[in-house]
Amino acid sequence: MELVVALGIGVLTGSGVWLLLRPRTFQVIIGLSLISYAVNLFIFSMGRLRTGAAPILQAGEVGDPARYADPLPQALVLTAIVIGFATTALFLVVLLAARGLTGTDHVDGLERERR
């Protein structure tokens, strides 16, 4: 399981970084989204990977920490998802404004001359 998660994070980050360095704004925003997925998975995996373990105690239950997943990274992931979603949405607006004002989807607002 660790290998699969690690590979997934790696592939997502690699593709994201590559797209982030591309000249089109659409590629940049997809790259940012991919990196944010990778980062969220990464945060989640920092709580150690477990299957079939609940993060929250049942009412009245005597807790044995060994039987539970770490709830904190899950809370962090939730926050990170919300914030990442909001900022990506904001970037989408800037992207559209830039496209409308400059007439091109190049990140610098002007096409490089082709030789």
Footprint on this chain of other proteins (rule: CB under 8 A): 20, 25, 28, 32, 35-36, 39, 42-43, 46-48, 72-73, 76, 79-80, 83-84, 86-88, 90-91, 94-95, 97-98, 101-102, 107-109
CB of 8 to other proteins, least distance (A): 15
Number of residues assigned to the chain = 115
CB of 84 to other proteins, least distance (A): 8
Query: Nearer Cβ to other proteins, position 7 or 96?
Result: 96
CB of 19 to other proteins, least distance (A): 12
CA pair distance 4, 42, nearest whole angstrom:
12
Query: Nearer Cβ to other proteins, position 53 or 86?
Result: 86
Q: DSSP letters of 51-93?
A: SS--SSPPTTPPP-GGGS--HHHHHHHHHHHHHHHHHHHHHHH
Could you tell me which residues come within 8 angstroms of residue 70 by beta carbon, excluding any fewer than 6 positions away?
Answer: 47, 48, 55
CB of 51 to other proteins, least distance (A): 18
Q: Is the dihedral of CA 83, 84, 90, 94 positive or negative?
A: positive
